[in-house]
Amino acid sequence: MNKQTTQAISEGTSAYGLRVAIIVSRFNEPVTSRLLQGAEECLQKYGGSKNNCPVYFCPGAFELPQVANALASRKSLDAIICLGAVIRGETPHFEYVSSEAARGIQDVALKHAIPVVFGVLTTNDEAQALERAGGKLGNKGWDAALAAIEMASLFKKLKRKAKRPSG
């Protein structure tokens, strides 16, 4: 079950023609591969094309902002989706990785004025993560893709408005 379960969808939502990069962390790969599947299914369902939606892999969630920053610098994308799974262990590592991923992703979005979506699960164990990666609680990869489509469409609208001559 990869369908989104929690997000409202605005009317006319479309990924047609949108250029959306997906960055996937390989750490906890059984989870992140399912998030990727959900995100790709969502983009296709809303009219996105594989050609316009390249996928990049990185080692862990900590590296997601670094890749997002490199991609955003190219100025050729409408949105970036970051997918990862940080699972709590017995050390404070979880806090460092998850908080740096969240902070870094928002920093990239604000620095480059491009939607960068946080599709990173932060859970106590793998079972909780799998429930949210195509299990009984939906697929956060799908939700992240939907957020990216909505934000990319909104940014396009805002840019069109800004270009319109006033008066």
Q: Which residues bind ligand INI (CB under 6 A)?
A: 25, 27-28, 59-63, 84-87, 89, 93-94, 97
158 Cα distance to chain centroid: 21
Shortest distance, position 27 Cβ to ligand INI, whole Å: 3
| Residue of 50, 93, 111, 159 marked catalytic | 93
Q: Which amino acid is at 56?
A: Y
Instruction: Sort residue 41 into left (φ over 0), alpha (ψ -120 to 50) or beta.
Output: alpha
3-state DSSP call for residue 32? helix
Shortest distance, position 54 Cβ to ligand INI, whole Å: 20
Terminal CA-to-CA distance of the chain, rounded, Å?
50
Instruction: Considering the complex, state which of residue 97 and residue 152 has its C-beta at the smaller distance from ligand INI.
Output: 97
Instruction: Considering the complex, state which of residue 87 and residue 147 has its C-beta at the smaller distance from ligand INI.
Output: 87
Per the annotation, the verdict on 112 as an active-site residue is no
Instruction: Considering the complex, state which of residue 122 and residue 153 has its C-beta at the smaller distance from ligand INI.
Output: 122
Contact between residue 43 and residue 102 where contact means Cβ atoms under 8 Å apart:
no
Residue number, nearest CB to ligand INI: 60
CB atoms within 10 A of CB 13: 14
Catalytic positions are 93
